[in-house]
Amino acid sequence: TMPSIFSYQSAEVDWCEGNFEHSTVIAEYYNTEWAPRTSQASRACARIELCSHKLSLLLAGIFSTYFHMTLSYVGQLLDELSILWTLAVAYAFWYPRIYFPKCIKSRKHFFWLSGVTTVISTLMSFIKPAFNAYVLNCIAFHLLYLTWRELKKCNDKRVHRMAAVMVVWWVLAISSWISDRWLCGLWQAINFPYFHSFWHVLIAMSLLYCCPLVIYFDVTYEMPSFKPKLGYWPSDSWPVVVPYVALEEPHKQC
């Protein structure tokens, strides 16, 4: 018989970590433990955020936790679709106007384009949810391309440094994700099948640097009367820091 879509281990994807090794109710213990970290890092890194974006990040963390805890088909869909809608919200509000397609004349029109595209992508996700995970990861390449274009116009060394650190964390994260999917046999043979857990931590670190960059460029375009400045809390000299964006209003000349 066809298993229930809410049943444990009914998902198309089963990560490398062994199931129910540390708990009788949690399928992937370490993946479940680290799943919420991505959304927590995203919320912590930005001082300027939209309520809708906070909600989407919160749901992404909850659904990812539910998916790894149950490995259910519904959990897989909720996990992947929450990421899709989080990205859609970020694109809709923060995508620079200068990169709008020529047929788009305003932010409102871009909202509609983002919404329609997201709805279509959501419907397609029901056809092959496992493939959706690869597509979502590929969106990172578009974000890297946009970052590269913005860096070409920016001479601030802090911005270039933050972008470089972001890319390093992302490369480590995607390497861990791919390694868990493609080299699972190797990691199980040496009893170390935890690279997907590493992905959660590493992608959270990458987002910790990505969010201030996005806000920095958004302020540059949308709030030209302010001068954005990247900073690190508690200090630039600390080995572990939280990046942030400070707004400096330039002195007006009489």
Annotated domain spans of the chain = 29-248
Which residue would you say has higher pLDDT here, 36 or 106?
A: 106
Highest mean pLDDT among 46-50, 90-94, 129-133: 90-94
Q: Could you say which DSSP state residue 47 is in?
A: S
Q: What is the pLDDT of residue 47?
A: 44
Partnered with residue 231 across adjacent β-strands are: 244
User: Binding residue per annotation — 22?
Assistant: no
Query: Is position 28 annotated in a ligand binding site?
Result: yes
Q: What single letter denotes the amino acid at residue 147? A: T
Question: pLDDT at position 234, please?
Answer: 87
Q: From CA 98, how far away is CA 77, in angstroms rounded?
A: 33
pLDDT given at position 134: 84
Residue 228, strand partner residues: 247
**How many Cα neighbours within 13 Å face the side chain of 137?**
16
User: Cα 213 from chain centroid?
Assistant: 13
Residue 193 in tokens? 């099948």
Rounded mean pLDDT, 118-138: 85
Pairing relationship of beta strands 242-248 and 227-233 according to DSSP bridges:
antiparallel
DSSP code for 249: P
Q: What percent of the chain has pLDDT over 90?
A: 61
Amino acid at 65: T
Question: Is 60 exceeded by the pLDDT of residue 158?
Answer: yes
Interatomic CA distance for residues 241 and 233, integer angstroms? 5
Does residue 135 register a pLDDT over 50? yes
| Residue 21 marked ligand-binding | no
pLDDT over 80 at 130, yes or no: no
43 pLDDT more than 70 = no
Distance CA 86, CA 58 (A): 10
- Rounded CA gap, 243 and 254, in Å? 35
pLDDT band at 252 (very low <50, low <70, confident <90, very high): low
For 150-170, what is the mean pLDDT?
95
What is the enclosing helix (H) or strand (E) of 228?
A: strand 227-233
Which residue is associated with the tokens 């590269």?
Answer: 148
Has residue 233 got a pLDDT over 60?
Answer: yes
Structure tokens at 100: 């709008």
Give the pLDDT band (50/70/90) at residue 172: very high
Comparing 97 with 45, which gets the higher pLDDT? 97
Q: Is 196 annotated as a binding residue?
A: yes
Tokens of 38: 């991505």
CB atoms within 10 A of CB 246: 12
Please name the residue ranges forming H helices in the chain: 29-34, 37-45, 51-70, 73-94, 107-125, 129-152, 157-182, 184-189, 195-222
**CA atoms of 125 and 19, how far apart (whole Å):** 25
Banded model confidence at residue 23, pLDDT cuts 50, 70, 90 = very high
68 is in an annotated binding site: yes
- Taking only the tens place, the pLDDT of each residue in 61-113 is 889 999 999 999 999 999 999 989 989 988 998 999 999 999 998 999 999 99
- Phi, psi dihedrals of residue 2, rounded to the nearest 5°: -70, 125
Q: Where is 243: in which H helix or E strand?
A: strand 242-248
14 labeled part of a ligand binding site = yes
Instruction: State mean pLDDT over 221-248.
Output: 87
17 is in an annotated binding site: yes
pLDDT in tens, 176-228: 999 999 999 999 999 999 999 999 999 989 988 998 999 899 999 998 888 89
Torsion angle, CA of 149/154/157/161, rounded to 10 degrees?
Answer: -20
Residue 142 marked as a ligand binder = no
